[in-house]
Structure 1
Amino acid sequence: MTDPLARPPKKNPQKVQTVPVLPPAFRSRAAMGLTAAAAEGRFKLQHCAECGAVQYPPRDACVSCLGLELLWKDTDPVGELIADTVVHTSPNLYFRRQAPWRCGTVRLNAGPSIFCHVHGDCLKGSDVRLLSRLDRAGQGVLIAIPKETTPNMADDPELRELGADPKHRRVLITDGRQPGAPALAKALLDAGAMTVFVGEGETWRPYPERSALEKMDGVHLMPLDLTDTSSVVELAGEIGGKVDILINNARFMRPGGVLARGDTAFARDEMEVNYLGLMRLAQAFGPGMKARGADGINNAAAWVNILSINAIANDPAYGSFNASQAAALSLAQSLRAELRPGGVKVMTVFCGPTDDDWYQDVPPPKLLPGAVARSVVQGLRDGVEDVWCGDVAKDYAERWRQDPRVLERELAGDMG
């Protein structure tokens, strides 16, 4: 069984820092479907539209009938581990550093046999479950885990390497004034985070969340104003080398679209916090996190952006705010590519309406702070890139996949 992960010792500042290296990243266009599924934590394989045969590895023509229409579908992930081995050395720098590394062959109940990474608790000949995960290079890979949960299962080195579990890591939450900040900090501490730094702007102005944050052991309040470059740079200089996971929950929003506003004042504020604030954070904290992608158990692992689901399709009732969210989403996609060489994952949590004053006239269902916090922690453990939090976000995402133009019309339907 997996041994529990021990708390790491303090780093020796005189020791040479380990340079991040990545596993092989080349994939065919067909194989990108596996990566797209892994980005959402879904186990998908190609299914032939003509004969129904399940395909692996990804290919351009059916192995059974040579049909060309291969559809990516959610597939039964259960199978039997029929062979395994342990790699103790490799010509690849990444796997040489990670050795010993267990891998094996799983015969799926759905048909194909798959060569994949293997969790240490899996027994040869036993039933296992395949997970679709993103590796350090941001590409989809498969790992076999026990069908039933085992003690300390999340502490397996291979499974942890494919995620960004908060356990024994230090986290920065950028805005303590947000109503969900205390729930998020508590969820991270409950997940095993060593330290949670929480940024707060305008420290002279009281806010209800502060008292709840001050009562938590392991939470440290830090001055941080995302609209002030010097404030962001100063905090990065103080704790930038310690942040393993950065969660950007900052948000400025006001209702109204383009014509509902008489000027651009609020729109400017929304862009200052939601878009330019993210850029300031990236420029101050990004280089340090990118350099620390191979820094042991508590290496820099993930960057999380909490955005509105309307970043993918604008609701005119909050049109200007949603435009700033779309800009932040586009910037996050650029940041993902820029942090990838360091092995740092960039995750976006798409949220439906939250249960707060700014959505008071929006009918339920609405998200409670605990739901967002749980989604963030689970997304980090799974190492995914996209998390759809709440029924509204999941519904929008499905409708957007079917036809973005139809969803745009539906959201604008009550504007007449």
Structure 2
Amino acid sequence: MTQALPPPPRKDPQKRTPASARPPEARSRAAMGLTVAAAEGRFALQVCAECGTVQYPPRDACCGCLGTDLPWQDVSPDGELLADTMIRASTKQFFRERSPWRTGSVRLDAGPTVICHVHGDCARHGRVTLWNKLDRSGQAVLIAVPPERTPLMQDDPILRAMSADPKHRRVLITDGRNPNALALVKSLQGAGAATIYVGESETWRPYPHRAALEASDVEFMPLDVTDAASVKRMAAEYGGKVDILINTAMFLRPGGAMARGDTSFAQQEMDVNYLGLMRLAQGFGPGMCARTGDGVNSAVAWVNLLSVHALSNDAGFGCFSASHAAAYSLSQNLRADFRTSGLRVMNVFTGPTEDDWFQALPPPKVSHNALAKSVVAGLQDGLEDVFCGDVARDVWERFNRSPKVLERETTMGVDGA
């Protein structure tokens, strides 16, 4: 059985911080479909459209009939562990640092037999479920886990290496004024976060849940994402202590370009939602990237809270959607910048939340607790893209089917999201 993960020892500041090692990342173009599914938390394999064969590893042609129409489809992840072994020596630095490493072969109920990582709680020759996860290189890998969750399951070294679990880690929430901040604090504490820092801009100005945050045993820091000096100052003081950064800074006003008399609100939206993210990345990014190999509480994740209409503009909040589209594009750039370090960028997309500025919109809306739970679950599952709420999932599904149709629905008055 998996042993409880002990808290990390106090770090010796005189010792060198270990450099980050990444697992092998070379993949074929055909295998990228597996990575796409892993980023969204799905288990999908190629299924031949001509003969129905489910195949693994991914190929350019069907292993049964040589057909080339191989769409990716969600299939059953259940199977039987045929054999397993412990790897105690490897040519790859990533695995040498984490040996012994359990691997094995699993025969899926869907047909293929796969070589995969094996969770420590899996019984030999027993039933298992395969999880499709992203490793530190950002590529998909398969992990066999017990069919039923076991105590301390997330503490397994293999799962820990593939996730961004908040347990024993220090988290920075960049804007405590965000209505979701308190729920995030409670969910992160419930997940075992060691320390939670909460940023505050204009500390003299009160806000409703300030007292509740104080009572939650968090550490406040003066952080204003619109002020480069403030970000640099806090990054210099706390950058080496932050393991997970959750960017909650947001400026929101309704209306599109024609509905506004000037560009003042649009400038503020871009300054907070887009340029604020850039300032945070420039300030905290280097320190976090340098600590991705730092043991139990290494830096692991950068989280952005985005409107799902970053994918396709919502006319009612047109300029706000545009600022989040810019932030979404920047988050993709951050994935490239963070790639060599293994620091993961997770985008959490939501529809309307229970905030004052969305008051006029009809339900369904995303509650603060639901959003916080989605963030923590996404970190524990090691996801890149999380869609929280019915509206976000609906927009994502329609965007995948046809971005142009979705654009027409959201801009021409057709009943949409």
Task: Settle same-fold status: TM greater than 0.5.
Answer: yes
- 5+ residue gaps, structure 1: none
1:184 to 2:184 alignment: yes
Pairing of 1:95-134 with structure 2 (within 5 A):
95-134=95-134
Partner residue of 1:203?
203
Deviates more, 1:95-104 or 1:370-379: 95-104
Pairing of 1:239-254 with structure 2 (within 5 A):
239-254=238-253
Partner residue of 1:21?
21
* Separation of aligned partners in 2, 1:120 and 1:146: 9
How far did 1:93 drift?
Answer: 1.3
Q: In the alignment, is the contact (CA less than 8 A) between 2:408 and 2:414 conserved in 1?
A: no
* Separation of aligned partners in 1, 2:111 and 2:128: 14
* Separation of aligned partners in 2, 1:303 and 1:313: 23
**Residues 106-150 of structure 1: per-residue CA shift (max 9 Å, x gap):** 000000001000000101110000000000000011000001111
Partner residue of 1:396?
395
1:410 to 2:395 alignment: no
How far did 1:414 drift?
Answer: 2.4
Pairing of 1:4-15 with structure 2 (within 5 A):
4-15=4-15
How far did 1:209 drift?
Answer: 1.6
* Separation of aligned partners in 2, 1:373 and 1:211: 19
The 3-state SS of whatever aligns with 1:143 is strand
* Separation of aligned partners in 1, 2:271 and 2:263: 12
* Separation of aligned partners in 1, 2:248 and 2:372: 11
1:82 to 2:63 alignment: no
Counterpart of 1:149, as a letter, is R
Partner residue of 1:175?
175
- 5+ residue gaps, structure 2: none
Counterpart of 1:368, as a letter, is S
The 3-state SS of whatever aligns with 1:342 is coil
How far did 1:266 drift?
Answer: 0.3
The 3-state SS of whatever aligns with 1:341 is coil
**Residues 205-242 of structure 1: per-residue CA shift (max 9 Å, x gap):** 0101211100012x111111000000001111111100
The 3-state SS of whatever aligns with 1:306 is strand
Instruction: Normalising by structure 2, report the TM-score.
Output: 0.99
Counterpart of 2:320, as a letter, is F
Q: In the alignment, is the contact (CA less than 8 A) between 1:316 and 1:415 conserved in 2?
A: no
Q: In the alignment, is the contact (CA less than 8 A) between 1:60 and 1:68 conserved in 2?
A: yes
How far did 1:255 drift?
Answer: 0.5
* Separation of aligned partners in 1, 2:148 and 2:350: 31
The 3-state SS of whatever aligns with 2:25 is coil
The 3-state SS of whatever aligns with 1:132 is strand
**Residues 82-124 of structure 1: per-residue CA shift (max 9 Å, x gap):** 0101100111111111111110000000000010000001011
Pairing of 1:347-362 with structure 2 (within 5 A):
347-362=346-361
Partner residue of 1:63?
63
How far did 1:413 drift?
Answer: 2.3
* Separation of aligned partners in 2, 1:176 and 1:275: 18
How far did 1:415 drift?
Answer: 9.0
* Separation of aligned partners in 2, 1:37 and 1:10: 38
* Separation of aligned partners in 2, 1:132 and 1:121: 17
Partner residue of 2:275?
276
1:30 to 2:30 alignment: yes
TM superposition outliers: structure 1 runs of 4+ over 6 Å = none
The 3-state SS of whatever aligns with 1:372 is helix
How far did 1:32 drift?
Answer: 0.3
Deviates more, 1:165-174 or 1:406-415: 406-415
Counterpart of 2:145, as a letter, is I
* Separation of aligned partners in 2, 1:94 and 1:106: 23
The 3-state SS of whatever aligns with 1:25 is coil
Q: In the alignment, is the contact (CA less than 8 A) between 1:21 and 1:341 conserved in 2?
A: no
How far did 1:171 drift?
Answer: 0.1
Partner residue of 2:256?
257
* Separation of aligned partners in 1, 2:344 and 2:100: 23
The 3-state SS of whatever aligns with 2:319 is helix
Pairing of 1:125-164 with structure 2 (within 5 A):
125-164=125-164
**Residues 361-384 of structure 1: per-residue CA shift (max 9 Å, x gap):** 111000110000000000000111
* Separation of aligned partners in 2, 1:17 and 1:345: 19
